[in-house]
Amino acid sequence: MAGSRSRGTWCRSDQARWNTSDRLAAAARRVSPCGQPAEAINTDGAGPRRPWRAGYEGVQTYIQSGNVLLTPGAGIPSARGAVAAHLATVLTDEFGFDIPVIVRSPAELAALVAEVATLPDPYPEGRSYLAFLDRPLPDAKRAVFDEWSAEREWARVVSAGDTVLYRLGVSAHEAKLTKARIERQGVVATSRDLRVVTELAARWG
């Protein structure tokens, strides 16, 4: 994950983060980037590191699943959208196919973790996940998740509408709420276990 960085790419810049879709993960061994002035990148696997060096400084990684922290170098605008566009271009040039990028800042990650801590957890024995979206959901589509009623599954749209928190009392492969289901709402999404996001926020937030 990076300041402007799931099965996709994360990045964060000057406290902003990004994430790319799982399509990158499939062709790039699940690489997920993030970045910005003190940004973080998440690579969903042991993909090539070279793209992250393209104009970025202070690159760090966390665990093999591919979490990366970086800072845009001279000539790279630090605005969330600009960083996302630049990283998407770098990744697309590297791997030969379109790779969307989702951006969040470190401050946003920390605020998100704090927000999630205030919400119910009906299945404390299960797992919680965060799906980061490339754009906020409109109210009509937020209701799909805020009113989610599959057995032993709970969800809420959080963080100003651009993230979906879902808590599962069943295994992920049995769950009806998946990244693919989320993307049917017309967004690009990348998911992370809440524990991973919490650790990234602590390290890089």
Q: 38 vs 161, which has greater pLDDT?
A: 161
Q: Which two structure tokens, joined as six digits, stand for 23?
A: 């399509």
Task: Determine contact, residues 128/116, Cβ cutoff 8 Å.
Answer: yes
Q: Which of 70, 104, 138 is the last residue of a domain?
A: 104
pLDDT of residue 118 exceeding 90: yes
Check whether residue 61 and residue 111 sit in a common domain.
no
Task: Determine contact, residues 35/3, Cβ cutoff 8 Å.
Answer: yes
Check whether residue 64 and residue 111 sit in a common domain.
no
Q: Which of 63, 88, 104 is the last residue of a domain?
A: 104
Check whether residue 24 and residue 36 sit in a common domain.
yes
Check whether residue 119 and residue 194 sit in a common domain.
yes
Check whether residue 112 and residue 183 sit in a common domain.
yes
Q: What are phi and psi of 187, to 5 degrees?
A: -125, 165
pLDDT digits (tens, 9 = 90+) for 32-89: 344 333 334 444 443 445 666 678 887 777 776 556 677 788 888 888 778 888 888 8
Check whether residue 33 and residue 90 sit in a common domain.
yes
Q: How far apart are the first and last CA of the chain?
A: 11
pLDDT of residue 25 exceeding 90: no
Task: Give how far the C-alpha of residue 125 lies from the chain's centroid of Cα atoms, to the nearest Å.
Answer: 24
pLDDT digits (tens, 9 = 90+) for 176-196: 999 999 999 999 998 889 999
Check whether residue 114 and residue 98 sit in a common domain.
no
pLDDT of residue 23 exceeding 70: no
Check whether residue 23 and residue 111 sit in a common domain.
no
Q: 4 vs 111, which has greater pLDDT?
A: 111
pLDDT digits (tens, 9 = 90+) for 131-160: 999 999 999 999 999 999 999 999 999 999
Does this model's pTM top 0.85?
A: no
Check whether residue 13 and residue 98 sit in a common domain.
yes
Task: Determine contact, residues 157/145, Cβ cutoff 8 Å.
Answer: yes
